[in-house]
Amino acid sequence: MAHIPSGGAPAAGAAPMGPQYCVCKVELSVSGQNLLDRDVTSKSDPFCVLFTENNGRWIEYDRTETAINNLNPAFSKKFVL
């Protein structure tokens, strides 16, 4: 953590601090097993939607591809946060 003198600016090369700065990335892989078949004429076509909360509101961050006729999907799309 960089020391910032009172009323001063961070030293050259010091990392910014606070919740608005990302210090790491997370890669999230999603899959499903034995999903319920909700289609009448074929198997379900599942997909996954990732929502994030921002200032008390949930917004769509990203979504996976649709796995056509698949009750055990292993989505290739990875969410990077």
The bridge status of strand 27-31 relative to strand 49-54 is unpaired
Question: Long-range contacts: 51-58, Cβ < 8 Å, 24+?
Answer: 52/81
Bin 61: left if φ > 0, else alpha if -120 < ψ < 50, else beta.
alpha
- 14-46 pLDDT, tens per residue? 555 656 777 899 999 999 999 999 999 999 999
Nearest to residue 81, comparing CAs of 33, 23, 39, 15? Answer: 23
Do 2 and 14 form a contact (C-beta atoms < 8 A)? yes
pLDDT of residue 23: 84
pTM of the predicted structure, to 2 decimals: 0.67
pLDDT of residue 20: 72
Nearest to residue 67, comparing CAs of 45, 52, 50, 51? Answer: 45
